[in-house]
Structure 1
């Protein structure tokens, strides 16, 4: 999204998105959301990976979050993989990412039933 553009509302994306403008609302990205140095996002973000080198204010749910040297983040980050480069700023709280579901599997061995739990990945 180009610098100078502004979007308000909900975005759902199957691919990567680079924000050079301003977004207010909710973003669901299946892959990577990149907020460039000129970009800003205000609201809720759900993505596989989020890279912030601009401004973010809100709640972010991602497997991996990177705050780069020009990044300014305010809000709550839900992730198990957070990195902040020197110069990057973060004011808020972090919480664990969404736990992977546990699946019960029953297997039959020699006429007896055996129950196992495995993490679904």
Structure 2
């Protein structure tokens, strides 16, 4: 069930992924990508992705995220600025969110403040 959203679910996981950071990979520093990105590893730094981000169950981000759409199965320790966000059952966010659309599945965890922007 979606919270704060009448929009249909994000379709990122059905689109072509242009960048993948696999499980076991650790990236230290700011990360920037133009297309849809899937992260299963760890990013220690800020992330800027033009289109969308899928943070897999093993994915961890220690930094801020700026993207259009995001699906969170993993863990974020930082702030998120996006147009649309889904926090799935295994997802955990510790930080503030600025978004237009928010959906949290049962079991998903969110600790922070939220600003619903137009």
Indicate the TM-score class for this superposition, using the shorter chain for normalisation.
Answer: 0.7 to 0.9
Provide Cα deviations, 1:34-65, integer angstroms capped at 9, x if missing partner.
11001111111100001100111101000001
Q: Which residue of 2 aligns with 1:38?
A: 58
1:80 Cα deviation from its structure 2 partner: 1.5
- Note if 1:75 corresponds to 2:104: no
Q: Which residue of 1 aligns with 2:39?
A: 19
Runs of 4+ residues deviating >6 angstroms? none
Structure 1 vs Structure 2 CA RMSD:
0.9
Q: Which residue of 2 aligns with 1:63?
A: 83
**Distance between the aligned counterparts of 1:71 and 1:12, measured in 2?**
22
SS state at 1:73 partner: strand
SS state at 1:90 partner: strand
1:8 Cα deviation from its structure 2 partner: 1.1
- Structure 1 unaligned blocks of 5 or more: 100-121
**Distance between the aligned counterparts of 2:44 and 2:98, measured in 1?**
19
Out of 29, 39, 42, the position equivalent to 2:49 is 29
**Distance between the aligned counterparts of 1:65 and 1:96, measured in 2?**
11
**Distance between the aligned counterparts of 1:57 and 1:82, measured in 2?**
18
How many pairs are equivalent? 98
